[in-house]
Amino acid sequence: MDDYPLLNVFLTMMYLFLWVMWFFLLFKVITDIFRDHSMGGWAKAGWLVLVIVLPYLGVLIYMIARGRGMSGRDVKQAEDREAAFREYVKQAAGPEGGGKADSHVDDLAKLAELKDKGHLDQAEYERAKAKLLA
């Protein structure tokens, strides 16, 4: 370790960190290019060629020209995913916010309540219960 001073270790770690961050930023810009639906195909191709051929300059120009909208597109995508998830949960839960098993439990409770109040006799209760559970 005598031939590699501590400062060089720190500089190497910093360069490695900056290199990883650079690739993160590059991939973030490329995914934003493809995610933006307001751009046409030729504009996307032009930005992509610029970012690939002149990566440092291309990413810098993209961040200056279109960087403000990147966060808006991220938020919109997150909101769309959340809305799709909520819709899926509502659809999977079925009507009235409960699944099929929950509705059977509620219906059985209603039948028991009607029987307890005297609106149904034992035979009617058993028939309704058998029909519900079938």
Mean pLDDT of the chain: 85
Calpha distance 44→17 (Å, rounded): 29
pTM over 0.75, yes/no: no
Q: What was the pLDDT predicted at 20?
A: 95
- Interior/surface letters 8-37, b for 16+ CB within 10 angstroms, e for the rest: eeeeeeeeeeeeeeeeeebeebbebbeeee
Instruction: Return the domain boundaries, the chain.
Output: 1-69, 98-134
Q: What was the pLDDT predicted at 101?
A: 54
pLDDT digits (tens, 9 = 90+) for 67-126: 888 888 888 889 999 999 988 888 887 655 454 556 777 788 888 888 888 878 888 888
Q: What was the pLDDT predicted at 120?
A: 80
